[in-house]
Amino acid sequence: MTYQHTLASPATIYGVGLHAGARVHLRLSRAPANTGIVFRRIDLEGFTIEARAKNVARVSYATSLMKKGVLISTTEHLLSALAASGVDNVFIDIDSLEVPIIDGSALPFWRLIQQAGLKQQRARRTYVKVLRPVEVVEVNRRVSVFPADRLRITCRIEFSHALIGEQSMDFVPANGGYEAEVAPARTFGFLEEVERLRNSGLIRGGTLENAVVLTREGVMNPEGLRFPDEFCRHKVLDLIGDLALLGHPLIGHVVAERAGHAMHYALVSRLLREKNSWTLVECPQVETRPSSRPSEAFAAVTGVH
């Protein structure tokens, strides 16, 4: 059996919000068992917003939470690092409406959590174990979850850009590798979208230091890409963060094809509604297998090669 974990010590990070562009102070601290992941707006007298699907507000360019009109935006990278680190319970004190973007990846948050360390708690961890398939389809995009003996993520993306094209990744978080293979992958966007997004009041804090910006021929970032398939890896990073909105770790095989935040959230919502498709279990450790290989699993499940 596995037990719940919180942080062993507090940890603090500073940065700028990607969309609002405001300076942000964020502090992670220990929380009691069965608390979950809870944001506290310290600029609003500690108003609390739980990182649960019921509080999701916007899911277009970022996953945002809202409760009684109070917003926390761009949560997915931090949630991804917390989930991958095995943090069940944590208070996240923040003095603005947006989680800092830092370098556009989850790696700074992962390192912050490792620095703080984990503390085992007495309460047992419970998992959402998938019993039957659940699927969300929108034209040529889909995201599904199937029964499995652990969390497995198979992701495929397709963009009409020379540096992206079709990319796929198969990743099993329990096998390790998140720090090296997923966490460093940065958020990305296209140069032709920048002006439109800024006119909409978004990406005011965006720079080449916190996002990969694609031109028609390549990328604007002087250092280039961290991985040839950094774009697909970042989609896996986002998906891990969005799945944290279930409120429990997931045991199932998630297959995402051309999906994004909105579809991730739709899958989480449908899974929670279809209560006969899953059960809560206390899960023993399972044997690990190799991960992050290009996707035989994706082809087997979806028929796409």
Taking the C-alpha atoms of residue 142 and residue 153, their distance in angstroms, rounded to an integer, is 13
- 261 as an active site residue: the answer is yes
Taking the C-alpha atoms of residue 169 and residue 114, their distance in angstroms, rounded to an integer, is 25
Neighbouring CB atoms inside 10 A of 178's CB total 25
Q: Choosing from 5, 19, 234, 261, which is the catalytic residue?
A: 261
* Structure tokens that stand for 276 in this block: 């006969």
* Structure tokens that stand for 131 in this block: 């019993």
Angle between helices 230-243 and 261-273 (to 10 degrees): 30
CA-based nearest residue to 53, from 299, 272, 291 = 272
Check residue 203 and give left, alpha or beta (phi > 0: left; psi -120 to 50: alpha).
left
The residue type of 278 is: W
User: Residue 304: phi, psi to the nearest 5?
Assistant: -90, 130
| CB neighbour list of residue 16: distance below 8 Å, 6 or more residues apart | 22, 23, 24, 100, 101, 205, 210
Side-chain-side CA neighbours of 91 within 13 Å: the count stands at 14
Catalytic residues: 261
